[in-house]
Structure 1
Amino acid sequence: MTGDGLITVQSRFGVTETIDRLAEAVKRAGLVVFARIDHAAGARDVGASLRPTELLIFGNPRGGTPLMQDSQLAGIDLPVKALAWEDDQGKVWLSYNDPHWIAERHGLGDASGAAVAAMAAGMEKVIAAAAGLAQ
């Protein structure tokens, strides 16, 4: 993790395939896909260019609600999201907010500790599956 709370891993796949794989892994884990946003398509719609960049927003109210009960402002960072993006050298990356960073940002108490740990473990698992990393 970097100081800004982001965790970034390299994907073995293109941006669209990475997000497709993430959506599949999320659904297999019993989570809900709330939205998928193709930022590059949005850029094209306004006559601008942007390297492939897609965002997937997903989660589970059963996991996120307790965090928002602890600090309602945590809802600005929930549900969780992951961004697949291609850099200027053609490498594809998958980035997401570390759940521990989210907890620290919002001053979540000890009562939220188990939920945060479960969220972190779940994110690591679905991100690894999406990026084609060995588990």
Structure 2
Amino acid sequence: MTYLRNICAQFGVGLDETSSDEDVHGFDCAVKYRIGSVPVQVKCTSKNFSRDTHLTMPVEDGWKEAWTGYTSGPAYFLVVRVPDTAEEWIDHAVDHQTTHRAAAYWERIDGRDIGSSIQVQRSNRFSASTLQGWYEDVLRANGVPA
């Protein structure tokens, strides 16, 4: 969640984390834009990309049920890929900086027929510019020209 929160801060939008007691819609958080929110399911893995094109992530039945009923606009699945051990993905440099060797990738999930897994494409690298695209999706969902 910290990775997503940092990118949201870079782009200048808020992030509301769903408490575990309120996770009834299958989403871990919502990216908060002025005109609306985008729900996001966030997972972390050290799995490698299959043939360098995608990550295959399992989908729980409860998520699928919740996502199938979600019709309020765009929703996304975000996977943060980290190395196998903490020593490899966090570096506390001598110049008082902390570097995270992680990257995130996303897939839009609303309106999709989801099976027992979801393939997240390597080409869908998550960054601050991704949040601009998601914002344009929110605008369109609310009938506002992007």
Same fold, TM-score > 0.5, yes or no: no
Larger Rg: 2
Higher relative helix content: 1
Higher relative strand content: 2
